[in-house]
Amino acid sequence: MQIIRDYENVPSEARDGVVVLGNFDGVHRGHQAVIGHGIELARDAKIPVVVVTFEPHPRTFFRPHDAPFRLTPFQNKAHHIEALGVDALIVLEFDKTLSHFEADEFIRRVLVEGMSAKQVVIGQDFRFGRKRGGDTALLEAHAEFGGYSVTTVAPVASADAEIYSSTHIRENVEAGKPGHAAAMLGRPFEIEGEVISGDQRGRTLGFPTANIVLGEYIRPARGVYAVRAGIETDSEIIWVDGVANFGNRPTIGGDSLLLEVHLLDFNGDLYGKNLRVALIEYLRPERKFDGLEALKAQIDEDSATARRILVVRAAGAS
């Protein structure tokens, strides 16, 4: 998948195609339906399919002091969009200039002049342009002039009629319900980041950890999780079972939130590597123990519990 960061210089292979427009934080089942519809249209017409999204997220631009809320910061979002089979991802920098584009100006400059869109696909509830003035009706009103057709995709719901939404997924992540979040995402919720050097405390306890700062990611419920960790190599991602703690490590007097991942049956060096940590199941809340020996015993128990859960999950998926 080609990543393009300028709508004014879109290469020819990404023009004259199907343009799918949205923020797509989470790339959840509802987003997948929108993008998937664009892919089907593009394949039928034998033209490229291009996803157009915004970074930073407009909410971050307008409300910079909000608590972190992202389900998929850019790198992780790009991974999941690429996996759907998109030809190109156009990332528009959401800054003061873009935020002042009237909706009809956005259509003309970005979709028509910038991309020569032949078809535009948009979720029914998505809004764009200054003060969220653009919607499906405005796209359709400009379609004849712009030389494109419009497809609107309605919200998608689960079997029990719950609409797939980023807001609902965030609520489940914060509540320590990764299984509920996964059902709406269509995959486990992931935290992706570079492994940083820690205080080596886990290694002295016999449980070395890969440490990740969450950055823009929404903060999941503090506590211990069964996880699967994807280690990026030059040619593939190797997935390894593990157990992780998210919190501030009260037993050792930690003063910052950190995701600490202990990989089961793995001895390699992960410092500086990119790690994708999928939260599979919430095991218990974070708590303070009466000394390191008690902490070590609990980590041993948590690791055994995580191993059992992950073996069962793997068997169920086969």
Domain span at residue 210 reads: 189-317
315 φψ region: left (φ > 0), alpha (ψ -120 to 50), beta (else): alpha
- Considering the domain architecture, whether residues 29 and 105 belong to the same structural domain is answered as yes
Query: Residue 272: what pLDDT?
Result: 87
- Considering the domain architecture, whether residues 198 and 138 belong to the same structural domain is answered as no
* CATH number of the domain that residue 69 is part of: 3.40.50.620
Helical segments of 46-73, H only: 58-62
Tally of residues, the chain: 318
Tens digits of residue pLDDT in 178-206: 999 999 999 999 999 999 976 655 555 66
Query: Residue 316: what pLDDT?
Result: 66
Helical segments of 103-165, H only: 103-106, 136-141, 143-146
Our answer to whether residue 162 is catalytic in this structure is no
Which residue's entry shows tokens 């400009």? 142
Catalytic site residue from 162, 260, 281, 293: 260
- Considering the domain architecture, whether residues 134 and 193 belong to the same structural domain is answered as no
- Considering the domain architecture, whether residues 139 and 7 belong to the same structural domain is answered as yes
Query: Residue 16: what pLDDT?
Result: 98
Q: Final residue of a domain: which of 136, 153, 170? A: 153
- Considering the domain architecture, whether residues 146 and 197 belong to the same structural domain is answered as no
Query: Residue 269: what pLDDT?
Result: 83
Q: Final residue of a domain: which of 153, 181, 205? A: 153
Number of helices and strands (H, E) in the chain? 11, 12
CB contact at 8 A, 107 and 7: no
Query: Residue 254: what pLDDT?
Result: 67
Query: Residue 204: what pLDDT?
Result: 58
* CATH number of the domain that residue 212 is part of: 2.40.30.30
- pLDDT over 80 at 275, yes or no: yes
Total structural domains in the chain? 2
Tens digits of residue pLDDT in 154-181: 999 887 878 999 999 999 999 999 999 9
Amino acid letter, residue 216 = E
Please indicate, yes or no, if residue 184 is contained in any of the structural domains: no
- pLDDT over 60 at 110, yes or no: yes
- Considering the domain architecture, whether residues 259 and 133 belong to the same structural domain is answered as no
Please indicate, yes or no, if residue 65 is contained in any of the structural domains: yes
- pLDDT over 60 at 268, yes or no: yes
Please indicate, yes or no, if residue 274 is contained in any of the structural domains: yes
**What band does 292 get if pLDDT is binned at 50, 70 and 90?**
confident
